[in-house]
Chain A
Amino acid sequence: MNLPFFNGKPLSRARREERIFYLFVTPWLIGLVFFWGGPILAALGLSFTDWSGVNFSDIKLIGFDNYHKMFADDLFWQSVTNTVFYAVGSVFLGTIFALFLAVLLNQNIPGIAFFRSVFYLPSVTAGVAIALVWTWILNPVVGLLNFGLGLIGIDGPGWLQSPQWVLPALIIMSLFRIGPNMIILLAGLQDIPQSLYEAAEIDGAARWAKFRNITLPMLSPALFFVLVVSTVGSFQIFVEIRIMTEGGPGTSSFVLVWYLWQQAFVYLRMGYASAVAFILFIVVMILVGIQFWIGSRLVYYES
Chain B
Amino acid sequence: MTKKTISRRDFLKTAAAASGGIFVFGFLNPERGVASAQDKTLLSFGQTWDAAFRPVQEEFDANWLAEHPDVEIEAVYSTWADHNNTVPVWAAAGTLPDIIYVHGSRVAPWAAEGIITSIQSFVDADPEFEVEGIWEEALRLYRVDGELVGIPYDHGPLILGYNKDLFDAAGMEYPDETWTMDMLREAAIALSDPDNLQWGWSGELDLGAGGAGAFLGGWGGVTMNEDETEMALDTPEARAALEWWYNLIHVDGAGPSQAQAEGGFGDVNGPWLQGRTAMAVVPSWETPGLARDAAFAWDVAPWPEGPVKRETGSFGSGFSITSSSVAREAAWSYMREYLSTEGMSTVWGSTGRGSPAREAAYQSWMDSADAPEGAGYYLDALKEYAVTGGPFQTLAAPEVLDILTRQAELLRLAEVSVDDAVNTIMAEATEALEALES
Say yes or no: is A217 at the interface (Cβ < 8 Å to chain B).
Answer: no
Q: With the chains together, A55 CA to B93 CA distance in Å?
A: 9
Instruction: Verify B259–A265 contact, CB threshold 8 A.
Output: no
A binding-site residues for B, Cβ under 8 Å:
20, 23, 52-55, 58, 69, 75, 139-143, 158, 161-163, 247-251, 262, 265-268
**How far does the alpha carbon of A69 sit from the alpha carbon of B407 in the complex, in Å?**
23
Interface residues of B in 236-275 (CB under 8 A from A): 258-260, 262-264
Contact A250 B409 (CB under 8 A): yes
- Against A, the Cβ 8 Å flags (1 = close, 0 = not) of B167-195 are 00000000000000000000000000000
Closest to B9 in A: A4
- Asked if residues A161 and B113 are in contact (CB atoms below 8 Å), the reply is no
User: In the complex, what distance in Å separates the CA atom of A145 from the CA atom of B266?
Assistant: 16
The tally of CB-CB contacts under 8 A between chains A and B is 73
Q: Give Cα A292 to B410, complex, Å.
A: 42
B90-133 at interface with A (beta carbon < 8 Å): 91-92, 109, 113-115
B413 interface contact, C-beta 8 A: yes
Is the C-beta of B4 less than 8 angstroms from some C-beta in chain A? no
Query: Is the CB–CB distance between A248 and B398 below 8 Å?
Result: no
Tell me if A's interface is mostly helix, strand, loop or mixed: loop
A251 to B115, CA, bound (A): 30
- Chain B residues near A54 (CB-CB < 8 A): 88, 91-92, 113-115
Question: Which among A20, A158, A249 is the interface contact of B8 at CB below 8 angstroms?
Answer: A20
B415 within 8 A of A: yes
CA distance A249 to B257 in the complex (A): 14
B residues lining the A interface (CB < 8 Å): 8, 12, 84-85, 88-89, 91-92, 109, 113-115, 258-260, 262-264, 398-399, 402, 406-407, 409-410, 413, 415-416, 428, 435
Shortest beta-carbon distance from A71 to chain B in Å: 14
**Among A158, A162, A265, A266, residue most surrounded by chain B Cβ atoms (within 10 Å):** A266
Residues of A within 8 A of B410 (CB): 163, 249-250
For B113, the chain A residues whose CB sits under 8 A away are 52, 54-55, 58, 268
Asked if A142 and B263 sit within 8 Å, CB to CB, the answer is yes
Contacting A249 at CB < 8 Å: which of B263, B402, B413? Answer: B413
Min CB distance A227 to B, Å, is 34
Name 8 interchain pairs, CB-CB below 8 A, sorted by A: A54-B91, A75-B428, A139-B259, A140-B259, A141-B260, A158-B259, A162-B415, A247-B406
Whole-angstrom distance between the Cβ of A88 and the nearest chain B Cβ: 24
The answer to whether residues A266 and B92 also contact, given A23-B12, A158-B259 and a CB cut-off of 8 A, is no
Instruction: Take A54-B91, A266-B85, A268-B88 as given contacts and tell me if A250 and B407 are in contact as well, using a CB distance cutoff of 8 Å.
Output: yes
Complex CA gap A265/B259 in Å reads 30
Are A55 and B263 in contact (CB-based, < 8 A)? no
Inter-chain contacts of A161 with B (CB < 8 A): 258-259, 262, 413
- Contacting residue for A265 out of B88, B407, B428, CB 8 A: B88
Contact A262 B264, beta carbon cutoff 8 Å: no
Alpha-carbon separation in the docked complex, A143 to B114 (Å): 47
Give A52 to B398 CA distance when docked, in angstroms: 14
